[in-house]
Amino acid sequence: MSLWKLALLIALFNVMTFGNGPVMIPLLQTHLVEGSRVLTEDQLLYAFTIARVTPGQANFYVASVGYMLYGMPGAIATTLAIILPGYIMIPLLHGYEYLHGSRWIRGFTQGLTVTSVGLILAAVVEIARATLTQPIAWIVLPATLILTQLLKWNIFVTLAVVGCLGLLFRWLL
């Protein structure tokens, strides 16, 4: 896969998902991990983790994917690929009344959102099959869910705690 093709693919995925970071995961998984095998599941997961611990826009983890494949030029190209469609904002500011009133567009975006929930969960199953090969991983995953969702812990604290938990079990077993 050439740098150009990667940038075009990322640009396309980003536009299709309205720049929603998590929704891009199934697309990246199918095309870069399973399809052309330029990326491993581990690399994709690591890139996504970066998105969760950095400030700013949540779809910028594609820069990490770009860097893994092509170094700095890759990071810059993928970043530009997700930023430039933002300029559609300028014409939209003028044609807003028409678009806002359109129930078709609201239905379309609602359809995209709902579909992506199913797609993300399907990708989770795929990635889990490939990466959660060690039993300890099945302790860390639910622990993360409980800490972030039920106990509402901060993401950094959660990652530190489940990280230690994983290390502890690895040391014990």
Partner 1 sequence: MKSDGAKRQRGARVTRGELFSIFLRAGLAFGGGLGILAVLEEELVDKRRAVTKEEFLTIYGIGRIVPSGTMTALAVAYGYRFGGLFGTVIALAALSIPVFVLTVALTIAYHYLRNTRLFDLLPVTIMPAALALIIVAALKLGKDVFRPSRELVIACSAFALALFLRLNPALILLVGGALGAFVLQKVEEESDAREKESGK
Q: List the one residue from 73, 99, 101, 157 that touches partner 1 (CB under 8 A).
A: 99
3-state secondary structure of 95: coil
Shortest Å, Cβ 69 to partner 1 = 11
Rounded to a whole number of angstroms, the minimum distance from the CB of residue 5 to partner 1 is 15
Would you say 8 or 92 has its CB closer to partner 1? 92
> Is residue 13 near partner 1 by the rule CB under 8 A?
yes
Name, in order, each residue with C-beta under 8 angstroms of 98's C-beta and a sequence gap of 6 or more.
none
Q: Which of residues 33-92 bind partner 1 (CB under 8 A)?
A: 42-43, 45-61, 63-64, 67-68, 72, 75, 79, 82-90, 92
Q: Does 7 bind partner 1 (CB under 8 A)?
A: no
Using the rule CB under 8 A, which residue among 8, 101, 107, 157 binds partner 1? 107
Can you tell me the distance from the alpha carbon of 89 to that of 104, in angstroms, rounded to the nearest whole number? 19
Q: Which of residues 135-154 bind partner 1 (CB under 8 A)?
A: 136-138, 140-142, 144-145, 148-149
Q: Closer to partner 1 by CB, 6 or 13: give it.
A: 13
Residue (2 or 89) nearer to partner 1, CB: 89
Nearer to partner 1 (CB atom), residue 6 or residue 48:
48
Q: What is the DSSP string of 98-163?
A: HHHH-HHHHHHHHHHHHHHHHHHHHHHHHHHHHH--STTHHHHHHHHHIIIIIS---HHHHHHHHH
DSSP per residue over 21-71, as a string? TTTHHHHHIIIIIIIS--S-HHHHHHHHHHHHHSSS-TTTTHHHHHHHHHH
